[in-house]
Amino acid sequence: MSVSRRRVGSGTRSGGDGVVAKVLPPVIVGALFFGGWEAFVDWQHVREFILPKPSEIWKQLFDNFGLVRSASVVTGTNALVGLILGTILGALLAATANRYRAFGELLNPLTITIAAIPAVVIVSVLNNMYSVTTQTGRRVMVTLAVFFIVFVQVARGLRQNHPTQLELMRSYAASPREILRKVRIPNAVGYLFTGIRTAAPIAVIIALVSEYFGGTQDGLGQRIASNFSLSKTAFAFAYVVGGSIVGLLFFAGSNLLEYVAVPWRRRRYSR
């Protein structure tokens, strides 16, 4: 078992003088990357519509901050709505599938089928079903992607307990109901937050990509595509930066959520 060998005090390793050692390398790598990019474009005289300089992207971002922000909010909201709905749906259906075996056997092939269909096909279908002037199709798409991840995780959490824990519960003559309440559900809650953490960045990607297939013109994905096609490459890159920030926010937020909500799972990933 991976949980049984943790030592007292090992969680404080990264504190104190480790901060500089942790922050410095990525800063140096970042500076080298952007500096090298800038120098390469200058040196090779790369045309701006092929590859703009970081300084030009920064200028575009600065000048059009309001536009990038509002597009980020549209895409970010789609991702967030889909993430929340998909999580609720995934957790509820996993719990139901666990409770009623026949329902679970009915559901499993369906979820796998949904997961196997390329997102692009579903978006086109959904855009056709809901009006292209709403965000509904995109949000449903994100919901479906998140649902699958959370469903699999929660179902696993409800089923896979440590054998020793189950033997102990048997030695306590615990009823199936008690085992569910005191072992399976708490275990599944841990898996639920892992599912959310896994699904969050994917929600952003799906929200972005689903804009490539028509619909309203207000999101990041749409703006990136149209500005590239108009050869306003630096402007398109400014929206890419917006997308990166949204992605980072989702990544950090979901990690923080897991860290706070299920502290006992911290160790699994920090070493």
The Cα–Cα gap between 221 and 238 comes to 12
Query: What binding mask, one character per residue, do residues 124-163 give for another protein by CB under 8 A, x or -?
Result: --------------------------------------x-
Q: Is 183 in the site for another protein (CB under 8 A)?
A: yes
Q: Between vectors from CA 90 to CA 85 and to CA 91, what angle results, nearest 5°?
A: 105
> What Å distances lie between residue 13 and 20, 21, 22, 204, CA to CA?
14, 12, 12, 32
Which residues, in sequence order, are CB contacts of 60 under 8 Å at separation 6+? 52, 234, 235, 237, 238
Return the closest-CA partner of residue 141 out of 153, 154, 152, 127: 127
User: Residue 131 or 270: which CB sits closer to another protein?
Assistant: 270
Tell the smallest beta-carbon distance from residue 167 to another protein (Å).
6
Binding segment (CB under 8 A) for another protein, from list 7-15, 84-92, 201-209, 216-224: 7-15
> Helix, strand, coil % (nearest 5) of the chain?
80, 0, 20
Q: Does 232 bind another protein (CB under 8 A)?
A: no
When binding is defined by CB under 8 A, the residue of 16, 113, 133, 264 that contacts another protein is: 264
With respect to another protein, which residue has the nearer C-beta, 11 or 30? 11
Among 13, 22, 159, 170, binds another protein (CB under 8 A): 170
Tell me whether residue 43 is exposed, middle or buried, using C-beta atoms within 10 angstroms of its C-beta: 0 to 12, 13 to 18, 19 or more: exposed
Q: Give whichever of 5 and 101 is closer to another protein, judged by the CB atom.
A: 5
Q: Which of 120, 172, 252, 260 binds another protein (CB under 8 A)?
A: 172
Minimum CB distance to another protein, residue 106 (Å): 31
Least separation, in Å, of the C-beta of 151 and another protein?
21
Q: How many residues bind another protein (CB under 8 A)?
A: 31
Q: Are 267 and 6 in contact (CB under 8 A)?
A: yes
> How far apart, in whole angstroms, are the C-alpha atoms of residue 209 and residue 118?
12
Judged by the rule CB under 8 A, the positions of this chain that interact with another protein are: 1, 3-8, 11, 162, 164-165, 167-168, 170-174, 178, 182-183, 186-187, 189-190, 262-267
